[in-house]
């Protein structure tokens, strides 16, 4: 290989260089801006992570698997995964191999950005083909073919998305269309350019036959320069359109992985970490099919992908509309190939909307009811005789209860925290306390006469400050009870207790887990007499707390467990979610029906769930019995 | 009290002529469910916060309709947004959104 | 052929006559006013779906082909003659009737009796019937041009010991809600208030009507009875009530007030019935039926029957059912008489 | 307001008022508050209209204020009333005329109660005999003094020297009529014109050339309300009621107020001073209050009595604007001179500088 063009320059590289310069400057400024938006504490965290070998290893692995190979999409759909991986990985390899070639053959041109990109134009093949040369020719053609096959699939997907496992796909915006057109044309043009030049610069299994083919009816040399011009222009245009298109995810995603692995979280809806997430969205549209709201076509524009698009465009009205409507079921987050925490961004957005609302929770700290409230003292104020401080009375009573009732000491007992919603589903409480009794579990009922809300609903509404007061109150209650284990019936409570409460040393379990343990320890025995059933994964229990196995384990011992259309992390929200602020009852009903349809696809006799909210929501609309896991267990306990 | 030892006592009357219609229209636009209440009181009866302090969706809606905006805020400021009222409302009013919208519009 | 005199040419009278005629009886229908249809003829649209009253009435009238009817005719005297009744009309016609059906309907409560509401005194106070008339004809100077605020007072002369009517008139709630929606259609910018004691939305589709009044039309429902009405210097009406839900007195200035006058037994009909010893109940003035569950069409006199609102407030469908039931009761009565 | 509608109601509330030979009973408080009104009433009816009015110094209070303040039980007040009626009977009269609205209401209430509960009537008759040795009797006709003036309003108009007309403009004066609550609200059939649209004062105003104005709070109490005023802590409430009435009549720009109750003119008059002190607001023209009159005072003015003989100097709100409008001559210097030329003092003027 020798340099063919003296000076190593031709005018056609200008479009490419302009685009390249633009994108470098743009990215540099964006990076600086982003860093200034990250809280100083997080910034330090980030830089520290870059010298931590453990995190560094994870960074590399994640970038390779997620950004280049798109493993997550492969898992979802092979063809779709291949499409993404072939373009990303193929292109990446073309760049890498291109550089290696340059280093090997024309080291004097090192540092010229455009040189490896247009390598075949600037060099000519001399003498016979060496094995080494043939190897590189093969590699370049191989990866080019790989990318081309990906591009071909992408084109096919545009018109028949279902073939790639997607019922609906994203509607591209204008910049997307420009970038897409460029992207689609870059590699065919490169193929043409390299093919026309293959007579001079050489080629392999792809470019050589093309050269011969074209040579039969075209005068190839006349086409060399124009095709290189076209190739360079397509690249340049692509770079110019990049920041305004979905392809911005290519440079951002890798950076997001670094930030995420450093342990950063969303603080503001539009700045800092969130911005990195926003620009990492490839608009792949997987979240469109994931969203339970999209059972109705009118809700399509409320999918997370559009939420992020509107965030990029600063369209506040739309941003608010979507963030207020979202169910926060977390399915789009669970399925997102980039792992964008859109629910977190939505919560941050809600905080901007509702943070100025003032609540007054002083009553939480008052021992006595205010004169205008109906005579309801805080539960247990009677027990608080002698305690001068108003705070702590609630917990004091529970503590007293824990010590007085039964034989065991407080630390041996479990604290049962039913939660607000569970009080609307007395069957859960009744059956669970039945299980407590059958298993000989000593328990203290934390909120028998109703307690204080756990705070999760406030957090979901973006009112995190307000939630802190509530959290402090409940933390005190739980700590003062002396119990070392808390059993909860409501997954909403469980999630917030796990994530936001400081309850070190206290085990927090959902009653599903608790029942599973009882069964494993043989403290209760059940008979397989429950018939056939299907299990609905409550969003907050499954995607929220990662509890998938325990309920299935319990239910398998009770009867025939049937499959639902969507299971595990893909299970569909019941529609009753507290997450959505604006979704009205009619639309929620549609979601419920959709979710029920997916659950009953194999015609189970019963629908089992583990969340009072799901239970109540389904019970209104289901055509067969809906019950909590506690109920079906309690009803099938064998008498000893 | 002045020189007489007594003064005009403020009217306790609700004066519908003085209702802030612009704000109410804004609220209706944000959450039209506010119009659906039939004053059954289920929300108030089930309220988690209502156990401790007078908290009532029904009373708040009524107070707004009567132009007693401050009363409405007072009926809602203790709300924990737990959502029980949404579950029990026979008219399926989206109470949580209504509550935060009222607080947002009128506070 | 047996003769049957039907007194009253409103919906019940028309429906009963049509059925009796089809059964082969000689029906003589007596109507005191110049036209058939009773109150229905004066109504514009009917709750809950807003079907035009005219269409319904036309259907009914087309059904009575072959029935002899006299307009502008009053029963001058009626007396028992053996098992029959001798009915003399003021137009000189005499009928020996084998059965008499009272389908005399109701009088609207005279709203002026509730002086505190100022009907007939304040310029912008009208009744439900006035409003229906305005809907039909758009002629009533009392309905101000583009009123901004309109009030409906439920239970005017109903559920009111003072007015002598302790009972609920049954249809006014639905009528008020219907009219509230209709007036919103006419004046979309107007605020509409309904002052009620209880909303009795008992029928099929009525609750939907109520919901749409709230949701679609933004009608404001105030649970409190209007205690008094005054006129201010601009001829607007100053209305006072208690908002019982907040336990506070309430005041509002209105441009138009519609009084939902209730039902009373038709005084002319009661006078006729009195001649043969068929009297109104002491409690509510409506005719006494043989019992209160099973024989609602029968009076305590053999051969005298009832249909419609003369035995208590009824909706239009209720009255029509009664008319058909009355036709059957009369038929059975005459058949049995023949056997004996 | 549809005048014919009101007329129709008035026609339903016709009250039989006797023609002559009346037993006249005075009011406890009017003699102090508006001392010349009852004197003028007797002068007009006896001397100008030639009617027979008998008065006795033996009559007492009817017990109304004590009764309404829960100070005495009903039986006591009934026995007092029975004694009044017995005096009437003793002097050979059967037409009982009282000057006070509270009394009128209480008499009506008592007669109706006796009618419904004859055993109570028998008991009261027994009480009367035991306490006073007087024979129990009931009046044939019961009338309020304003009913009498209403009955003879046209005769008075025939003798009138002045009319309720603004002499300068020729327009009728705008007159607010305020009826005492106990006149017709308890027993509408015992009043002229009923409870909603009483005609007793409206009839006088129309007959004497004025224009009745009707305002939203026309039904409202003057603010006296017995316990509201007599209990000091409730006095603000009493004042607020009066304030509400004035706020409501203000847009009609009334020239004057006529009343037929002892308490009403007092509170409508005096509270105007208090309101102007507290709120700095007056309701009449040129920072002046709205003059308030009793119907006897107005009848006297119409018939040409000297304003100071009618006791108008005893009003807190000066009557001069009305006198000027009607064209009644008066000597300002005589205003505060008593019967023998002695100075009787002056009412305090509001410190806000308005009256």
Contact (CB, 8 A) for C327 and C103: no
Predicted confidence band at C60 (pLDDT cuts at 50, 70, 90)? very high
Chain B touched by A371 (CB under 8 Å): no
Q: How many CB atoms lie within 10 A of CB A57?
A: 11
pLDDT exceeds cutoff 90 at A161: no
Contact (CB, 8 A) for D111 and D84: no
Hey, what are D184's tokens? Answer: 């017709």
Q: How far apart are CA C114 and CA C157, in angstroms?
A: 7
Per-residue pLDDT at B38: 85
Q: Write the residue in D232, D233, D240 that is nearest to B8 by C-beta.
A: D240
Listed range (A183-197, C68-82, C98-112) with the worst mean pLDDT:
A183-197
Any bridge partners for residue C158, and if so which?
A: none
Chain C touched by B90 (CB under 8 Å): no
Which chains share 3+ C-beta pairs under 8 angstroms with C? B, D
CB contact (8 A) between residue D5 and residue C121: yes
Give counts: helices (H), strands (E), chain D.
Answer: 16, 8
Q: What's the pLDDT tens digit per position in D227-276?
A: 888 888 889 999 999 999 999 999 999 999 999 999 999 999 999 999 99
Query: CA of D193 to nearest chain C CA: how many angstroms apart?
Result: 12
DSSP per position, A394-405? HHHHHHHHHHHS
From the list A44, A49, A147, A39, the residue with the least C-alpha distance to A91 is A147
Q: Write the residue in B32, B65, B68 that is nearest to C220 by C-beta.
A: B65
Per-residue pLDDT at A398: 52
Residues of D in contact with B3 (CB under 8 A): 277
Q: Name the phi and psi angles at A66, rounded to 5.
A: -85, -50
pLDDT exceeds cutoff 50 at C277: yes
Q: What's the pLDDT tens digit per position in D134-165?
A: 999 999 999 999 999 999 999 999 999 999 99
Listed range (A335-349, A353-367, B16-30) with the worst mean pLDDT:
A353-367
pLDDT exceeds cutoff 60 at A374: no
Residues of D in contact with B4 (CB under 8 A): 235, 274, 277-278
CA distances from B4 to A123, C99, C322, D273 (A): 109, 79, 70, 11
The domain over range C3-105+266-339 is classified in CATH as 3.40.50.720: no
Hey, what are A38's tokens? Answer: 């990250």
Contacts of A33 (CB under 8 A, 6+ apart): none
Per-residue pLDDT at C137: 94
Residues of C in contact with D211 (CB under 8 A): none
A141-148 mean pLDDT: 93
Q: Decide which of C59 and B9 is more confident.
A: C59
From the list A611, A344, A365, the residue with the least C-alpha distance to A470 is A365
Give SS3 for D262: coil
Tokens 């806000």 sit at which residue?
D352
Q: What's the pLDDT tens digit per position in A12-29?
A: 999 999 999 999 999 999
pLDDT exceeds cutoff 50 at A482: yes
From the list A466, A286, A481, A290, the residue with the least C-alpha distance to A379 is A481
Query: CA of B5 to nearest chain D CA: how many angstroms apart?
Result: 8
Per-residue pLDDT at A373: 35
Q: How far apart are CA A170 and CA A167, in angstroms?
A: 10
Contact (CB, 8 A) for A80 and A150: no
Q: How far apart are CA C258 and CA C134, in angstroms?
A: 12
Q: How far apart are CA C102 and CA A589, in angstroms?
A: 51
From the list C57, C75, C63, C58, the residue with the least C-alpha distance to C21 is C63
From the list A140, A35, A152, the residue with the least C-alpha distance to A91 is A140
Contact (CB, 8 A) for A392 and A384: yes
- Structural domain boundaries in chain C: 3-105+266-339, 111-261
Query: CA of C261 to nearest chain D CA: how many angstroms apart?
Result: 18
ipTM over 0.85: no
Any bridge partners for residue C70, and if so which?
A: C30
Predicted confidence band at A395 (pLDDT cuts at 50, 70, 90)? very low
Per-residue pLDDT at A121: 87
pLDDT exceeds cutoff 70 at A284: yes
pLDDT exceeds cutoff 50 at A380: no
> What is the maximal distance between C-alpha atoms in chain A?
104
Contact (CB, 8 A) for A473 and A364: yes
- Domain termination site, one of A227, A250, A273: A250
**A261, HSE (Cβ side, Cα atoms, 13 Å):** 24
Q: How far apart are CA D350 and CA D355, in angstroms?
A: 6
C29-50 mean pLDDT: 96
A257-282 mean pLDDT: 89
Any bridge partners for residue C241, and if so which?
A: C226, C250
Residues of A in contact with B50 (CB under 8 A): 373-374
Q: How far apart are CA D201 and CA D297, in angstroms?
A: 13
What is the count of residue pairs from C and D with beta carbons less than 8 Å apart?
A: 43
Query: CA of D117 to nearest chain C CA: how many angstroms apart?
Result: 21
Is A182 among the domain residues?
yes
Q: Write the residue in D1, D6, D196 that is nearest to C116 by C-beta.
A: D196
Is A260 among the domain residues?
no
DSSP alpha helices (H): ranges in C164-260? 172-186, 206-215
Per-chain mean pLDDT for chain A: 87
CATH architecture of D3-145: Up-down Bundle (1.20)
Q: How far apart are CA C162 and CA C114, in angstroms?
A: 9
Q: Name the phi and psi angles at D292, rounded to 5.
A: -120, 135
Chain B touched by C223 (CB under 8 Å): yes
**B75, HSE (Cβ side, Cα atoms, 13 Å):** 21
Chains C+A touching (3+ CB pairs under 8 Å): no
E strand intervals along B1-107 = 14-15
* Among D184, D216, D245, D247, the residue to mutate for chain C (most C Cβ within 10 A): D216
Contacts of A503 (CB under 8 A, 6+ apart): A475, A478, A479, A486, A497
Residues of C in contact with B34 (CB under 8 A): none
Q: Write the residue in C221, C245, C251 that is nearest to B16 by C-beta.
A: C251
Residues of B in contact with D232 (CB under 8 A): 5-6
Per-residue pLDDT at A123: 85
DSSP secondary structure code for residue C84 in this structure: E
E strand intervals along A68-226 = 123-124
Distance of CA A162 to the CA centre of its chain: 22
pLDDT exceeds cutoff 90 at D119: yes
* A contact residues 395-434, partner B, Cβ 8 Å cutoff: 420-421, 423-424
pLDDT exceeds cutoff 60 at C68: yes
DSSP per position, A538-597? -TTTTTTT---HHHHHHHHTTSEEEPPSS-GGGPPP-S--SS-SS--HHHHHHHHHHHHH
Which chains share 3+ C-beta pairs under 8 angstroms with B? A, C, D
pTM greater than the 0.95 cutoff: no
pLDDT exceeds cutoff 70 at A348: yes
Nearest CA in chain D to C230: D216
Which chains share 3+ C-beta pairs under 8 angstroms with D? B, C
CA dihedral A493, A494, A500, A501 (to 10 degrees): 90
Q: How far apart are CA A599 and CA A580, in angstroms?
A: 22
D338-352 mean pLDDT: 81
From the list C47, C45, C211, the residue with the least C-alpha distance to C134 is C45
Residues of D in contact with B11 (CB under 8 A): 240, 244
Per-residue pLDDT at A159: 80
CA distances from A433 to A309, A482, C27 (A): 49, 20, 74
From the list C308, C338, C220, the residue with the least C-alpha distance to C6 is C308
Contact (CB, 8 A) for D280 and D274: no
Q: What's the pLDDT tens digit per position in B44-79?
A: 888 989 888 989 999 999 999 999 999 999 999 999
- What is the span of the domain harbouring residue A186? 2-250
Q: What's the pLDDT tens digit per position in A57-93?
A: 999 999 999 888 888 888 888 888 899 899 999 999 9
The domain over range D160-334 is classified in CATH as 3.10.450.40: no
For residue A470, the surrounding DSSP H or E stretch is helix A464-481
Q: What's the pLDDT tens digit per position in C289-315?
A: 999 999 999 999 999 999 999 999 999
Q: How far apart are CA B88 and CA B92, in angstroms?
A: 8
* C contact residues 145-204, partner B, Cβ 8 Å cutoff: 193
* Among B27, B35, B93, B100, the residue to mutate for chain A (most A Cβ within 10 A): B100
Q: Does residue A317 sit in the same domain as residue A307?
A: yes
- Domain termination site, one of A496, A519, A542: A519
Predicted confidence band at B2 (pLDDT cuts at 50, 70, 90)? low
Q: How far apart are CA C179 and CA C184, in angstroms?
A: 8
Residues of D in contact with B8 (CB under 8 A): 236, 239-240, 243, 275, 278-279
Per-residue pLDDT at A409: 63
Strand C263-265, strand C191-196: pairing? unpaired
Chain D touched by B12 (CB under 8 Å): no
A528-539 mean pLDDT: 95
Tokens 């009928």 sit at which residue?
C95
Q: Write the residue in A357, A452, A458 that is nearest to B103 by C-beta.
A: A357
pLDDT exceeding 70 applies to what percent of chain C?
100
Per-chain mean pLDDT for chain C: 94
Q: How many CB atoms lie within 10 A of CB B32?
A: 15
Contact (CB, 8 A) for D209 and D165: yes
Q: What is the CATH number of the domain that holds A548?
A: 3.40.50
Q: Does residue A243 sit in the same domain as residue A163?
A: yes
Q: Does residue A207 sit in the same domain as residue A292?
A: no
DSSP secondary structure code for residue A297 in this structure: G
Contact (CB, 8 A) for C199 and B40: no
Give SS3 for C24: coil
Is A80 among the domain residues?
yes
Chain D touched by C123 (CB under 8 Å): yes
Q: How far apart are CA C6 and CA C330, in angstroms?
A: 11
Q: Can you name the CATH fold of C111-261?
A: FAD/NAD(P)-binding domain (3.50.50)
Is A178 among the domain residues?
yes
pLDDT exceeding 90 applies to what percent of chain A?
58
- Structural domain boundaries in chain D: 3-145, 160-334
A537-558 mean pLDDT: 96
CA distances from C120 to C136, C152, C165, D202 (A): 21, 16, 21, 19
Is A361 among the domain residues?
no
Q: Does residue A50 sit in the same domain as residue A110?
A: yes
DSSP per position, D186-234? S-GGGSSSTTTS--HHHHHHHHTT-EEE--TTTTS--S-TTHHHHSGGG
CA dihedral A406, A410, A411, A412 (to 10 degrees): 10
Is A373 among the domain residues?
no
C6-11 mean pLDDT: 96
- Domain termination site, one of A304, A320, A354: A354
Q: How far apart are CA A255 and CA A199, in angstroms?
A: 41
Contacts of C230 (CB under 8 A, 6+ apart): C118, C237, C238, C240, D215, D216, D217, D218, D219
């Amino acid at each position: 290989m020798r340099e063919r063009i003296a000076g190593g320059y031709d005018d056609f590289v200008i479009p490419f260089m302009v685009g390249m310069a633009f994108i470098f400057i743009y990215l540099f400024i964006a990076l600086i801006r982003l860093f200034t938006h990250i809280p100083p504490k997080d910034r330090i965290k980030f830089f520290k992570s870059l010298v931590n070998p453990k995190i560094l290893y994870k960074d590399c692995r994640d970038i390779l698997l997620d950004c280049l190979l798109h493993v997550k999409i492969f898992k979802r759909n092979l063809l779709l995964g291949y499409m993404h991986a072939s373009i990303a990985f193929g292109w990446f390899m073309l760049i890498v191999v291109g550089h290696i070639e340059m280093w090997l053959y024309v080291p004097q041109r090192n540092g010229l950005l455009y040189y490896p990109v247009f390598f075949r134009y600037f060099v000519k093949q001399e003498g016979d083909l060496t094995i080494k040369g043939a190897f590189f020719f093969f590699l370049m053609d191989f990866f080019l073919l790989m990318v081309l096959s990906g591009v071909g699939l992408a084109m096919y997907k545009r018109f028949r998305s279902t073939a790639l496992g997607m019922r609906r796909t994203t509607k591209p915006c204008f910049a997307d269309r420009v970038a897409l057109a460029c992207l689609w044309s870059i590699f065919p043009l490169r193929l043409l350019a390299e093919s026309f030049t293959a007579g001079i610069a050489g080629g392999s299994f792809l470019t050589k036959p093309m050269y011969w083919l074209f040579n039969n009816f075209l005068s190839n040399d006349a086409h060399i320069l124009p095709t290189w011009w076209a190739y360079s222009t397509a690249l340049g245009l692509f770079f110019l359109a990049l920041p305004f298109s979905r392809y911005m995810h290519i440079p951002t995603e890798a950076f997001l992985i670094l930030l995420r692995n450093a342990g950063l979280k969303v603080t503001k809806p539009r700045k800092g970490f969130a911005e990195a997430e926003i620009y990492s969205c490839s608009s792949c549209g997987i979240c469109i099919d994931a969203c339970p709201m999209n059972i109705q076509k009118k809700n399509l524009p409320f999918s997370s992908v559009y939420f992020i698009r509107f965030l990029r465009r600063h369209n506040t009205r739309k941003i608010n509309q979507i963030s207020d409507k979202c169910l926060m079921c977390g399915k789009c987050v669970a399925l997102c190939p980039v792992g964008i925490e859109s629910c977190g961004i939505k919560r941050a957005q809600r905080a901007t909307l509702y943070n100025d609302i003032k609540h007054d929770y002083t009553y939480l700290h008052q021992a006595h009811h205010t004169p205008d409230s109906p005579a309801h003292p805080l539960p247990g104020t009677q027990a608080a005789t002698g305690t001068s401080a108003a705070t702590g009375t609630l917990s004091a009573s529970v503590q007293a209860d824990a010590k007085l009732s039964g034989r065991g000491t407080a630390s041996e007992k479990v604290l049962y925290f039913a939660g607000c919603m569970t009080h609307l589903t007395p069957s859960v409480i009744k059956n669970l306390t039945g299980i407590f009794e059958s298993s000989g579990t000593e328990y203290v009922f934390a909120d028998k006469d109703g307690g204080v809300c756990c705070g999760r609903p406030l957090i979901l509404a973006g009112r995190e400050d307000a939630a802190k007061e509530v959290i402090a109150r409940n933390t005190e209650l739980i700590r003062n009870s002396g119990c070392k284990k808390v059993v909860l019936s409501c997954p909403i409570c469980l999630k917030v207790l796990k994530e936001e409460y400081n309850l070190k040393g206290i085990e927090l379990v959902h009653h599903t887990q608790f029942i599973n343990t009882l069964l494993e320890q043989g403290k209760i025995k059940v008979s397989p007499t429950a018939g056939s059933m299907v299990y609905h994964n409550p969003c907050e229990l499954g995607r929220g707390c990662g509890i998938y196995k325990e309920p299935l384990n319990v239910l398998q011992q009770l009867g025939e467990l049937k499959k639902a259309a969507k299971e595990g992390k893909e299970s569909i929200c019941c529609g009753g979610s507290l997450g959505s602020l604006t979704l009205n009852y009619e639309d929620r009903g549609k979601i419920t029906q959709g979710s029920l349809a997916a659950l009953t696809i194999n015609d189970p006799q019963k629908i089992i769930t583990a969340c009072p909210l799901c239970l109540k929501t389904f019970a209104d609309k289901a055509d067969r019995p809906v019950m909590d896991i506690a109920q079906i267990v309690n009803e099938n306990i064998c008498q000893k | 009290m002045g020189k007489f030892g007594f003064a005009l006592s403020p009217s306790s009357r609700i004066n519908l002529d003085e209702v802030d219609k612009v704000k109410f229209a804004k609220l209706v636009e944000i959450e039209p469910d506010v119009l659906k209440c039939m004053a059954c009181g289920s929300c108030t009866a089930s309220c988690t916060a209502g156990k401790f302090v007078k908290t009532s969706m029904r009373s708040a809606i009524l107070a707004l309709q009567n132009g007693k905006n401050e009363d409405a805020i007072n009926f809602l400021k203790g709300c924990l947004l737990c959502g029980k009222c949404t579950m029990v409302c026979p008219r399926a009013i989206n109470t949580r959104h209504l509550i935060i919208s009222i607080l947002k519009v009128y506070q | 052929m047996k003769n049957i005199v039907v007194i009253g040419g409103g919906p019940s009278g028309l429906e009963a006559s049509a059925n009796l005629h089809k059964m082969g009886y000689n029906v003589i229908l007596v109507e005191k006013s110049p036209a058939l249809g009773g109150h229905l003829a004066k109504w514009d649209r009917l709750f809950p779906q807003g079907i035009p009253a005219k269409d319904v009435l036309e259907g009914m009238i087309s059904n009575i082909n072959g029935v002899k009817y006299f307009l502008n005719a009053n029963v001058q005297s009626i007396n028992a003659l053996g098992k029959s009744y001798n009915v003399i009309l003021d137009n000189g016609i005499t009928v020996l009737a084998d059965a008499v059906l009272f389908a005399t309907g109701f009088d609207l409560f005279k709203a002026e009796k509730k002086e505190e509401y100022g009907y007939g005194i304040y310029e912008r106070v009208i009744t439900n019937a006035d409003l229906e008339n305005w809907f039909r004809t758009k002629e009533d100077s009392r309905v101000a041009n583009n009123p901004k605020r309109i009030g409906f007072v439920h239970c005017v002369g109903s559920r009111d010991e003072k007015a002598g009517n302790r009972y609920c008139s049954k249809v006014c709630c639905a009528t008020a809600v219907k009219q509230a929606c209709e007036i919103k259609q006419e004046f979309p910018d107007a605020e509409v208030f309904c002052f009620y004691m209880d909303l009795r939305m008992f029928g099929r589709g009525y609750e939907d009507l109520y919901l749409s009044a709230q949701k679609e039309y933004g009608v404001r429902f105030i649970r409190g009875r209007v205690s008094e009405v005054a006129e201010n210097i601009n001829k607007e009406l100053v209305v006072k009530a208690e908002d019982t839900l907040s336990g506070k007195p309430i005041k509002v200035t209105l441009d138009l007030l519609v009084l939902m006058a209730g039902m009373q037994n038709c005084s002319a009909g009661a006078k006729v019935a009195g001649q043969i010893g068929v009297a109104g109940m002491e409690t509510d003035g409506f005719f006494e039926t043989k019992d209160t569950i099973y024989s609602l069409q029968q009076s305590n006199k053999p051969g005298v029957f009832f249909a419609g609102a003369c035995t208590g407030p009824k909706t239009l469908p209720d009255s029509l059912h009664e008319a058909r039931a009355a036709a059957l009761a009369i038929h059975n009565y005459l058949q049995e008489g023949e056997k004996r | 307001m549809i005048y014919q509608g009101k007329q129709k109601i008035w026609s339903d509330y016709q009250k039989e008022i006797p023609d002559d030979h009346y037993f006249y009973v005075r009011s406890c408080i009017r003699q102090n508050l508006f001392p010349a009104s009852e004197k003028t009433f007797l002068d007009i009816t006896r001397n100008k209209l030639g009617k027979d009015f008998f008065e006795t110094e033996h009559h007492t209070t009817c017990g109304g204020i004590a009764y309404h303040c829960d100070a005495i039980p009903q039986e006591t007040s009934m026995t007092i009333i029975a004694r009044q009626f017995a005096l009437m009977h003793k002097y050979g009269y059967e037409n009982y005329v009282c000057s006070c609205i509270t009394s009128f209401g209480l008499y009506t209430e008592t007669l109706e109660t006796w009618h419904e509960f004859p055993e109570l009537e028998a008991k009261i008759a027994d009480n009367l005999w035991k306490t006073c040795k007087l024979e129990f009797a009931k009046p044939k006709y019961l009338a309020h003094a304003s009913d009498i003036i209403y009955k003879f309003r046209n005769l008075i108009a025939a003798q009138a020297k002045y009319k309720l007309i603004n002499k300068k403009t020729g327009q009728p004066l705008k007159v607010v009529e305020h009826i005492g609550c106990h006149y017709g609200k308890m027993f509408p059939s015992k009043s002229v014109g009923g409870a909603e649209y009483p005609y007793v004062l409206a009839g006088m105003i129309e007959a004497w050339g004025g224009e009745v104005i009707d305002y939203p709070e026309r039904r409202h109490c003057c603010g006296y309300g017995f316990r509201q005023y007599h209990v000091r802590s409730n006095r603000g409430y009493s004042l607020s009621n009066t304030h509400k009435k004035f706020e409501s009549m203000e847009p009609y720009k009334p020239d004057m107020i006529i009343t037929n109750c002892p308490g009403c003119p007092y509170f409508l008059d005096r509270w105007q001073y208090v309101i102007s002190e507290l709120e700095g607001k007056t309701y009449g023209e040129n920072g002046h209050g709205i003059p308030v009159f009793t119907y006897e005072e107005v009848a006297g003015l119409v018939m040409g009595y000297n304003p100071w003989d009618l006791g108008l100097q005893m009003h807190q709100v000066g009557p001069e604007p009305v006198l000027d409008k009607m064209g009644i001559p008066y000597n300002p210097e005589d205003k505060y001179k008593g019967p023998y030329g002695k100075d009787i003092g002056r009412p305090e003027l509001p410190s806000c500088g308005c009256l």
